[in-house]
Amino acid sequence: MPSFRCQAILFDLDGVLIDADLIYERHWKAWATRHQVSFERILEVHHGSPAARTIQIVAPHLAAVAEARDYNHGLEEDTDMPGAVAYPGVKEILEKLPPDRWAIATSASRKIARARLQYLGLPVPSVLITPEDVRQGKPAPDPYLKAAEGIGFSAEECLVIEEAPAGIDAARAAGARVIALTTTHGEESLGEADAIASSFADLEIQVGDAGLEVSW
């Protein structure tokens, strides 16, 4: 099996550790209807990007920051957590990893990310980077640079697990290697990653004295 060695792993959240598409799509569909924007276009671009960037792409005539604030508020108030599930193998691997060897960098707000992790019984990392923590979200490198710094490593020493082109671009710009999962995009969209796996369950992570080894 091919493998990468690293000192720490930086995970995206949605599409990598958990599947919350039903929740996001419900809210994006309502938003698209309200603003007469193509819902299909939103589905093409929203994965891995903060809401404000998605809105800038699909509706540049709107005030993206204000609209994103309203959209995220709706998500935060949505208590329908059964729309979210953890991917197979996630809980076991996160509980095996030393707390100082992994972090999450997500485009979801902190309140949303924590609520979903807690609902699914997944550990909340000591370093959880959300749009509130950085000047620019993905595809800028800021989230992964901040996450690496938070656990005491350079981005070059870390491996990123992603599923969206915007997240891959962010990780590469930060200097990290990337394994992309084909959970939300086909391989043809993930070509900038260093490696591609079909799902989280395909990953094997070993903890050793010299760091971590991730194979697929």
Give the other-Cβ count within 10 Å of 56's Cβ: 17
Say if CB 96 and CB 207 are below 8 A apart. Answer: yes
All residues at 6 or more sequence positions from 101 whose CB lies less than 8 Å from its CB, including other chains: 7, 8, 9, 151, 207, 211, 212
12 in active site: yes
All residues at 6 or more sequence positions from 16 whose CB lies less than 8 Å from its CB, including other chains: 87, 161, 162, 163, 181, 183, 200
Q: Of these residues, 12, 21, 142, 169, which one is catalytic?
A: 12
Say if CB 72 and CB 51 are below 8 A apart. Answer: yes
Q: Of these residues, 14, 21, 142, 169, which one is catalytic?
A: 14
Q: What is the DSSP string of 152-199?
A: T--GGGEEEEE-SHHHHHHHHHHT-EEEEETTSS-GGG-TTSSEEES-
Q: Which residues are catalytic?
A: 12, 14
